[in-house]
Structure 1
Amino acid sequence: MTAQRTSTALVTGASSGIGKGIARQLAAYGANLILVARSEGKLRALADELSRQHGVRADVIAADLSHPEAGQRLEDEVGARGLQVDLLVNNAGFGGFSEFFQQDPNEINEMIAVNVTILTDLTRRFLPPMLERGRGRVLNVASTAGFIPGPLMAVYYATKAYVLSFSEAVNEELRGTGLSVTALCPGPVDTGFQDVATLNESRLMSGLTRLAVLDVETVARIGVDAMLRGQGVAVAGVANRMQVSAFRMLPRAVAARIIAGVQARREA
């Protein structure tokens, strides 16, 4: 499948980071866009930029995806505008760095809502119409974190494990339909994510780990190309693929101990 001017892609978390990069990649391929995030101003600026550069239609829907009714509201708004979703990109997500027992309960619930609940809800809402039309793709942004337990980011790693498992399972269910679900698994990416997740307090973003850091454009290109090919899982970057392979060979308890050390707070 290719992204064409007859295709419309809905991208969540499109106002910054990987989501913004994916929107740019899709626009360059000629797909029309439905850009979704909380920040309407940033979305409109991006929509204007991409429409001007690539001649695509770019709709903006400002939405708080942590709200329980977000999926229904988004589906209704897409329908009210006479749009159909051919490419669904579930990118919205965030993390938090702390011991689980010290993490704010409201932050935990919001993280699960954005990283897991809305991703599942939107896939369930927009996948059946794709099946009826006989064409479509879903790209779920997971993480290399989805392959391992993550002490000091326990909930974030667990949500990404869900995204990876869910994507692989539904992709297999779609075998033979012409549709697919792709799980994009980047490692560290040079975005504002680290600041939001307070990862700068961690050893994770220093030393050898920096070698695995990729830029947004590279990760976005890998994800979009994998989605259009119908690839099930795309781990971005050679270093990240090597790390995932190594961790898969270790007992889970050993992997957890290693990650705990890697993510430990830096000494003052």
Structure 2
Amino acid sequence: MLSTDLSNVDSAEVVFDAIKNIKIDVLVNCAGFGIYGSFAENNWQQESSMLNLHIITITHLTKLVLQGMIERDRGKILNVSSLAAFQPGPMMALYYASKSYLLSFSEAIANELKDTGVSVTVLCPGPTKTCFQEVVSNTSSDNKISFNMACPKAVAAYGYKAMLKGKVVAIPGVFNKFLANLPRLLTRKRTTSIVRKIQEKNRTEPSNTCVFEKDVVLIKKNV
């Protein structure tokens, strides 16, 4: 059992050094947390930790594990992004931007890995009933999101099945699929304004970091 803080810049190397002699067939990057508040006012240490976790660690660990998968002509990678990846998110600017990076990164390398036996899937769920939703604000009572709230087990099962099928972008829920395409129907300026109003309605005061899943799953068993 390995315990390490994945928001540290060198954490991918720490994890990989511990498992480099194991043949990894499946990598699930499901770590993340969110910070609510104005970019100009938020704490930079918290923000940089989030960026390290969402971008640096996931990208580096994917690269390290990918080498062996390509050599063996098999492997599956599941990156957990968010519905937030499809539009800008005022009051959670870096969270939305980092999830957008993860979506773009996953789609790009999925294309590069065609015909290699290795697939990449990016899961983009909407609001899901986890501790993320409860403590992204200072108190859970500040968060009034209840509509379209998904079951975490159902979201995990959806992502797992999509990964097995080799699907590139997996968005659970018909309504979430509609929301993902909303910026194409409206202007990006309009959708950004809508997100701002939703954020201000659901959280009435700034928050501290919400850490809900600082982990990574590496599966040895063939799938």
TM-score range, shorter chain: 0.7 to 0.9
TM-score (norm 2): 0.86
Distance in 1 of aligned mates of 2:81 and 2:10: 23
Runs of 4+ in 1 over 4 A off after TM superposition: 199-203, 265-268
Q: How does 1:1-268 map to 2 (within 5 A)?
A: 60-79=1-20, 82-198=21-137, 200=140, 205-206=144-145, 210-266=146-202
Kindly state the Cα deviation for residue 246 of structure 1 after the two structures are TM-superposed: 2.1
Distance in 2 of aligned mates of 1:118 and 1:250: 34
> How many positions carry a matched residue from both structures?
203
Between the two structures, name the one with larger relative contact order (CA 8 Å, sep ≥ 6): 2
Distance in 1 of aligned mates of 2:135 and 2:58: 20
Q: Which has the higher helix share?
A: 1
Name the CA shift for 1:202/1:153 in 2 (closer, same or farther; >3 Å): farther
Contact residue 34 and residue 95 of structure 2 kept, 8 A: yes
Cα shift readout 1:136-194 (whole Å, capped 9, x = no counterpart): 00000000000000001001000000000000000000112121111100010000012
Structure 2: state its 5+ residue gaps: 206-223
Contact residue 202 and residue 265 of structure 1 kept, 8 A: no
* Residue number in structure 1 paired with 2:215: none
Cα shift readout 1:44-85 (whole Å, capped 9, x = no counterpart): xxxxxxxxxxxxxxxx21111111221111111113xx4221
Cα shift readout 1:24-47 (whole Å, capped 9, x = no counterpart): xxxxxxxxxxxxxxxxxxxxxxxx
Cα shift readout 1:75-121 (whole Å, capped 9, x = no counterpart): 11113xx4221100011110011111111010000000111110000
* Residue number in structure 1 paired with 2:208: none
Contact residue 201 and residue 265 of structure 1 kept, 8 A: no
Distance in 1 of aligned mates of 2:33 and 2:114: 30
* AA aligned opposite 1:61: L
Percent identity, aligned pairs only, is: 38
Distance in 1 of aligned mates of 2:120 and 2:102: 11
Contact residue 34 and residue 92 of structure 2 kept, 8 A: yes
Structure 1: state its 5+ residue gaps: 1-59
Distance in 2 of aligned mates of 1:112 and 1:202: 25
Kindly state the Cα deviation for residue 218 of structure 1 after the two structures are TM-superposed: 0.3
Contact residue 182 and residue 191 of structure 2 kept, 8 A: no
Distance in 1 of aligned mates of 2:56 and 2:43: 19
* Residue number in structure 2 paired with 1:13: none
Aligned-CA RMSD value: 1.7
Distance in 2 of aligned mates of 1:98 and 1:265: 13
* AA aligned opposite 1:154: A
Contact residue 81 and residue 102 of structure 2 kept, 8 A: yes
> Per the alignment, in what secondary structure is the counterpart of residue 70 of structure 2?
helix
